[in-house]
Structure 1
Amino acid sequence: MKRKEILEKLMLQINKGNHIVGVTTGCGITAKYSQNAGADFLLTLSSARFRQMGRGVLASFLPYCNSNDLVMEFGSKEIIPLVKDIPVIFGVNATDPTKNMDAYLDKIIENGFSGVNNYPSIGLIDGKFREALEESGCSYLSEVELIKKANNKGLFTIAFVFDEIQAKQMIEAGADAICVHLGLTEDELLGEKKKFSLEYVKLKMEKIFNKCNEINPYVIKLIYGGPIKTPLDIQYMYSNENLMGYIGGSPFDKIPLEKAITKTIKTFKVSSNVDEDDLITKKLDKITNNCDYVEYVKEYVAKNYMNDISFADLAKSVHVSRSYLSSLFKKEVGCSFTEYLVKFRINKAVDILNKKDIPLSTVATLVGYNDYSQFSKMFKKYKGYSPIKHKHKKLEHKNIYLENEK
């Protein structure tokens, strides 16, 4: 797929109000079903291959093999021949001393890849090891140069960035998409876990996207990794209108696969009533895993946001105190339940306004606000402008898009 064609397809999705979804893949079956499910592009990363081996993704940073050779091997033989009409992006280790990057980019094109991404990235390394790498010439600037060279060769480019400075460097290098890397998915960290809340990474994302908008507001803006593991997590992040899409790895293959295999084998092992055993297992899981309490609350909000919700009743339903559940929720999400609920409702209102032309009072009711003035007040507080102004902005955007189509 040519760069121009990819950009046109992605921008068409964005202009329709849809979100872009990219999938990191390390094997043919993930690639095949990701394409069937409607993924917009695939990223062949060495970390994804190690994940398919049942290993931690940090293995892609260690000298077990050459990352570029590994990606070229499975990508060109297992992914490219299998999928059609979907761009496949090559994860390039830009600091590889065994490769002439100009010649290697030509090889990437010859083997049918549509674009490149800077991975493994120096941006995931810090401390004294990072300092030593920089001193030896292995720096993030090598990744910036990779994106610049790839752009000059007509490849579609997705740049992983970790701060505002790197975002600026990558945009100036010609990156088509800036993807804020929020860190490894939490359950994949080796050793001591360093957990960040949804609110923490959301603020980090917003700072970087604000810098992107200063330089090029039209660059595609995506996120990857971190604490985002469920559709509800990404929905929370979409309250920021700058965010255009999500790239996922573990949430699309490792986590669902773990759950499916575990549940299926347990089902085959049971000798009594399957439904009863499954119910007992779920109850035991809730008792032993505090994160389940938080997921339960988020799922309940997603299904009942249009109704009155009592946090005290939610605490009673899982047999924990209100204060304990509140503490768990704030630690995991990064904000109070009340703030989460309001943001969820306002985000739903934005979705409705983007897709339907209906009275604002009706939208308020649909998202749980019988008092329109309260709805308008909360909308303005979290979006920075009134519901009516948002409606006018979407209408202007639609008219501009229609004119461009003509």
Structure 2
Amino acid sequence: MAKRMEILVGAAIGLGMTARAAVDGGADFLLVLSAGRLRVMGAPSLAAMLPIRDSNAFTDAFARQEILDRVSVPVFFGAAACDPRLSIPALLRRVSEAGYNGVANFPTAIHLDGSFRVALEEAGLGFPREVEMLRAAPEYRLATLGYAKTRVEVDALLDAKVERLCLNFGWNSGGSQGVPSGVPLDQAAERARRLFAHIRRRAPGTLCFVEGGPIIDPSHLQQVCEASRADGYLGGSTLDRLPLEMSVMQTTSAFKTTRLLPQEGDTVAARVPGLVGRSQPARQLMARIARLVATDLPILVEGEPGAGRTTVARAIHQASGRTGALTFLDARQDIAARLFGEGGPAALLALRHSTLVIESADALPPMLRARLADWIERGSFARFAKPAERIPGARLVLTHPLGGEALARALSAQRLTVPALRDRLEDLPLLARALLRGAQHGAAELEPAALRLLMARSWPGNLRELAEVLRRAATEGRNGRIDLATLEAQIGLASTAPPASPEDERAWILDALRRNRFRRGETAAFLGIARKTLYNRMRRLGLEA
């Protein structure tokens, strides 16, 4: 027999719209299950195991209204056989007359264990009753699909001559309502290999399917299928809940961030070439730079590490219209010879329209500070010249951590404070685009949910940290897009770390609560932390009320 190039796919669907979408995507058959309907109603799949509905009537109602006679593939009915009042022949007759092509044992007792399942079996209401139903189904011209977990259950289904057998690994993990399966992927693959080999020895014509547990995407399925030679896959949560959650989340995030996402050609309210931003702190910074570059006054640029002090120094040189050299010296190194050797600073700035940048100026030894102040005092920078009298010449720019008042006074320098990234998060979309382009990842785009994660972070490392995260994420991204999962992997646990001090942490959480109208679940999702973690932090910080 020739090897099938494509596996069979059965879609366990609870909504007409997703049923038609699954068929358009190539599903070979559909299963209408109470779990599928409960999922689209917002409940987890395992709610199907609770006595909250007349499962058969519930399933039949939505299937007749939305799925039967509206799709071009066979439809299997998920039948609950445990009701002791239920006449199995009567149920199968109704299913056949309604137009279903087959029947499956769902909800199924295979998801139960312990003394409760033993009690069901002893009362004649457990898995054997499901097998009885599947054994009788062909008499009503119904195809059969049986769910099983263990070899004993598999053998019972084979004795009933079930045509399609699905090895189930438990409820799907993943998403907001997933249940940890407890079955590692490699163990699932090995279990399927052994059981399917057993099935093919006993009943070679039986089609073997896998479903559930750790299989939540095609790559997982491929690993299991390659090991077990499965004929097909049954998808429930993986075909409706997980894609729906992700799609709705991404689309909602896109609308939420519409005003944040910069468009091509978007004009940035910036008056300084080389700087990006339109927030109030960014505007104030640029306005001050625009005033200072009209003078030759020394400028001390201060700010937190990674905030962009060197970038601002470059922007000052460019905005000044200076065509001469831009020279950088690091005060942490021995720069005395270059500053005050033969020719002094004038030798470094021999060309007109030049700029000298001394980085880490807080490391300047006292002697060098004094000599530099004396050199400035002698008038090399024409501090008091009127614009009409000023000869275009050298400019001195120094970068310094926050708290550079003393040095600024000593050098008669104008202080310029670069805001921290956390104080200008409104600029983050523009900054991210600029950083990606600067890192030669210009084609990479941030998905809206990924952008929201960036904006929920406090960024203690400022622009330097943001640039590094984006660089790694762009390298790992697929199809030129940086999605939420890729970004989370690069940020790691640090993405949820608030500022170090309790005061900053309180402000961080309070801001997120206000953004989400004090809805705690939405706030936790926005911050990228568990709801319980949010509650604990709110309690510790006195924000419970």
- TM-score (normalised: structure 2): 0.49
Which residue does the alignment assign to 1:202? Answer: 189
Q: Does 1:162 align with 2:144?
A: no
CA contact (8 A) 2:171 2:180 kept: no
- Equivalent in 59, 71, 92 of residue 47 of structure 2: 59
Aligned positions of 1:76-225 closer than 5 A: 76-84=64-72, 86-187=73-174, 193-225=180-212
The alpha carbon displacement at 1:33 in A equals: 1.1
CA contact (8 A) 1:90 1:113 kept: yes
- Equivalent in 38, 47, 54 of residue 50 of structure 1: 38
The alpha carbon displacement at 1:210 in A equals: 2.0
Q: 1:256 to 1:156 in 2, by over 3 A?
A: same
Q: How many residues align?
A: 288
Q: 1:32 to 1:318 in 2, by over 3 A?
A: same
What per-residue deviation string (whole Å, max 9, x for no partner) do you get for residues 62-92 of structure 1?
11111111111111222103213x1000001
Query: d(CA) in 2 for partners of 1:183 and 1:154?
Result: 30
Aligned positions of 1:12-27 closer than 5 A: 15-27=3-15
Q: 1:80 to 1:21 in 2, by over 3 A?
A: same
Q: 1:62 to 1:188 in 2, by over 3 A?
A: farther
Q: 1:265 to 1:101 in 2, by over 3 A?
A: same
Equivalent residue letter for 1:204:
R
Q: Does 1:40 align with 2:36?
A: no
Equivalent residue letter for 1:282:
A
The alpha carbon displacement at 1:154 in A equals: 2.6
What per-residue deviation string (whole Å, max 9, x for no partner) do you get for residues 11-69 of structure 1?
9xx85422100000111101111111111000000000000101011211111111111
- Equivalent in 221, 243, 249 of residue 236 of structure 2: 249
Q: 1:191 to 1:246 in 2, by over 3 A?
A: closer
CA RMSD of aligned residues (A): 3.2
- Equivalent in 445, 450, 464 of residue 282 of structure 1: 450
Higher RCO (C-alpha 8 Å, min separation 6): 1
What per-residue deviation string (whole Å, max 9, x for no partner) do you get for residues 329-370 of structure 1?
xxxxxxxxxxxxxxxxxxxxxxxxxxxxxxxxxxxxxxxxxx
Query: d(CA) in 2 for partners of 1:261 and 1:33?
Result: 16
The alpha carbon displacement at 1:194 in A equals: 4.6
The alpha carbon displacement at 1:259 in A equals: 0.9
Q: 1:90 to 1:137 in 2, by over 3 A?
A: same
Which residue does the alignment assign to 1:69? Answer: 57
CA contact (8 A) 2:211 2:234 kept: yes
The alpha carbon displacement at 1:111 in A equals: 0.4
CA contact (8 A) 1:21 1:245 kept: yes
Query: d(CA) in 2 for partners of 1:248 and 1:274?
Result: 38
Q: 1:285 to 1:269 in 2, by over 3 A?
A: closer
What per-residue deviation string (whole Å, max 9, x for no partner) do you get for residues 268-322 of structure 1?
111222684845853886999xxxxxxx99x97x99xxxxxxxxxx9xx9488xx
Q: Which runs of 5+ in 1 are unaligned?
A: 1-10, 289-295, 304-313, 321-406
CA contact (8 A) 1:41 1:87 kept: yes
CA contact (8 A) 2:189 2:228 kept: no
SS in 1 for 2:90: helix
Q: 1:218 to 1:195 in 2, by over 3 A?
A: same
SS in 2 for 1:251: coil
Which residue does the alignment assign to 2:253? Answer: 266
SS in 2 for 1:187: coil
What per-residue deviation string (whole Å, max 9, x for no partner) do you get for residues 194-239 of structure 1?
5321111112212221220220122100011111111111111121
Query: d(CA) in 2 for partners of 1:285 and 1:196?
Result: 30
Q: 1:243 to 1:64 in 2, by over 3 A?
A: same
Q: Once structures 1 and 2 are overlaid, which stretch shifts more, 274-283 or 135-144?
A: 274-283
Query: d(CA) in 1 for partners of 2:209 and 2:255?
Result: 40
SS in 1 for 2:238: coil
Equivalent residue letter for 1:49:
R
Q: 1:269 to 1:42 in 2, by over 3 A?
A: same
Query: d(CA) in 1 for partners of 2:91 and 2:178?
Result: 35
Q: 1:209 to 1:284 in 2, by over 3 A?
A: farther
Equivalent residue letter for 1:172:
D
The alpha carbon displacement at 1:264 in A equals: 1.0
Query: d(CA) in 1 for partners of 2:197 and 2:452?
Result: 44
Equivalent residue letter for 2:39:
R
Normalized per residue, the structure richer in helix is 1
Q: 1:180 to 1:87 in 2, by over 3 A?
A: same
SS in 2 for 1:186: coil
Query: d(CA) in 1 for partners of 2:231 and 2:37?
Result: 26
Q: 1:23 to 1:280 in 2, by over 3 A?
A: closer
SS in 2 for 1:238: helix
SS in 1 for 2:174: helix
The alpha carbon displacement at 1:144 in A equals: 1.0
CA contact (8 A) 2:169 2:188 kept: yes
Q: Which runs of 5+ in 2 are unaligned?
A: 264-428, 433-445, 458-471, 480-485, 493-545
Query: d(CA) in 2 for partners of 1:126 and 1:207?
Result: 22
